[in-house]
Structure 1
Amino acid sequence: MERRNTIQKDLVLKTVQGLKRHLTAEEVYEFIKKDHPTIGKGTVYRNLGILAEEGAIRKVEVPDGPDRFDFTLKNHYHVECIRCGEVFDVDMDEVTDLNERIHDTHGMQFLNYDIFFKGICPVCRAKETEE
């Protein structure tokens, strides 16, 4: 079944692409609500799911945190600041043969992976040196 494009779906897509950050669903909702106060939270959340399912945006599952929505579609890695929780792209080439290099001892069929690094962002590091 083909889904139709709606004004709300277009707003959600343009927000994720335009802000160029790894936004939570709540951040997307709050941003859109400023100019479109009648939009429902459920509408934003539902459209984020649809856009991720369609491949227009990427859903990034953050360990111990809310999912983020990414404007970059190619495979890449992420780093989360352990102080502020912000998520950033890691500037490195994809390890293309990683699935082939896994030594499977549990009978698993590996389908995909997300690599998530932890660190401290420049803003939080600067705050620490000020204190």
Structure 2
Amino acid sequence: MQTRNTIQRQIVLQAVNQLHNHPTADAIYAFIAAQHPTISKATVYRNLNQLAAQGEILRVPVPTGADHFDFNIKPHYHVRCTKCGGVFDVFMPPVTDLIDRVEDSSGVELHRYEILFEGICSACRKD
């Protein structure tokens, strides 16, 4: 199914591209609503889901909270601070041995994966 490139879709994509802090859908909506008060929360959520499904943005699932969104769709890892809830990029080469081992032990050919590390960020450790 083809998705139209509407003004609302462009606004949502621009917001994700401007917010480099892995925002949640609520944070993206608040950012957009400040500039475009007539756009609905449902429109923002629907467009986020469509953009993620089509690979234009990355959805970062967080098991203990709301999903976050990332403008950077190149393969990389994420780490979440368990204290402040922030999500940060981790750039390092893929762990190919791990992928091979998962495929060998499960019999599943992997097409994508998401690894989320958790810990306490440097800002929270200072507090």
Q: Is this a same-fold pair by TM over 0.5?
A: yes
3-state SS of the aligned residue for 1:23? coil
Q: Which residue of 2 aligns with 1:109?
A: 108
1:63 is matched with which residue? 63
**Separation in 2, partners of 1:3, 1:96:** 34
After the TM superposition, list the runs of 4 or more consecutive aligned residues in structure 1 that deviate by more than 4 angstroms. Answer: none
**Matched-pair identity in %:** 53
Q: Displacement, 1:108?
A: 5.0
In 2, Cα distance between the equivalents of 1:97 and 1:6? 42
2:59 counterpart SS class: strand
TM-score, normalised to structure 1's length? 0.87
Query: Deviation at 1:65?
Result: 1.1
Deviation per residue, 1:19-50 (Å, 9 max, x gap): 11211000000000001111100000000001
Give the RMSD, CA atoms, in angstroms.
1.5
- AA aligned opposite 2:21: R
Residues in 1 aligned to 2:109 and 2:78: alpha-carbon distance in whole angstroms: 20
Q: How does the TM-score come out when normalised to structure 2?
A: 0.90
* Deviation readout 1:69-96 (Å, 9 max, x if unpaired): 1111111111000101010011322223
Greater Cα radius of gyration, structure 1 or 2: 1
Distance in 2, matches of 1:41 and 1:84, equals 24
Where does the alignment leave 5 or more consecutive residues of structure 2 unmatched?
none
- State the alpha-carbon separation in 2 of the partners of residues 32 and 94 from structure 1: 34
3-state SS in 1 of match to 2:117 = strand
1:33 paired to 2:33: yes
Gaps of at least 5 residues in structure 1 are none
Cα distance in 2 between the residues matched to 1:8 and 1:95: 38
Structure 1 residues 108 and 65, CA gap change in structure 2 (3 angstroms):
farther
Equivalenced residues, count: 125
Match of 2:51 in 1: 51
